[in-house]
Structure 1
Amino acid sequence: MKIIHNPLLPPRRYDAVNILGLLLCRKGTTLTADLIQHERIHTAQMREMGFVGFYLWYLLEWLVRLPMKGRAYTNISLEREAYEHMNDPDYLLRRRHYAWWKHLKRHKA
């Protein structure tokens, strides 16, 4: 995964954003091993779903979760998988395809 430091992306309240497998972060952002792992998990999700499929699913699930209890972003299944395993450096070696699917049923309040 290529890391690009820039002055514009992501929006200020986020540390990094993964666009098509490129990790964009603002200049001066400290990238931790956990954050990089989180974004690598997203890259794996993008590869298995296709980039367009990933972004369509992400947007649709975010829209569905907006009226639900809790913060929509943190309740997206793709994010929950990435957050749950971001501190496990070996996760991608044993990750099954579509592992995020199990997070659809469980809704965090």
Structure 2
Amino acid sequence: MATVQECRQALDQLAAKLEANAANGGKRIDLDRTLACRVTDLGVAFHARLAGGRLQDITDGDDPKAKISLTTTSDDLVALVEGRLDFARAMAARRLSIGASPFDLLKLRKLL
């Protein structure tokens, strides 16, 4: 089981990847939404803002009003960010749950 600090580092790493992608003219999405990441096995959550293809202002704690929610375990979160776990397979195996409107889900696919 990954630690809370390792999960935080994984989210920071994801933010850095998205920032580099946006800076290099990669896939960008026109989406400005609050995002909550819930780590079930540790009983912790993080929240941030997804804007312009960037993940900003990552903060400890849940945001029950977040427009997009990700729910997974600590090990799966770290594996997803490091590229050791395929996003689509994690969803199919129910190791990752995403709560978002259908419109937002279509836009999020561009980041994958």
Fold shared per TM-score above 0.5 = no
Q: Which has the higher helix share?
A: 1
Normalized per residue, the structure richer in strand is 2
Length-normalised TM-score, structure 1 = 0.30
Report which of the two structures shows the higher radius of gyration computed on alpha carbons. 1
Q: Which structure's relative contact order is higher, taking Cα pairs within 8 Å and 6+ residues apart?
A: 2
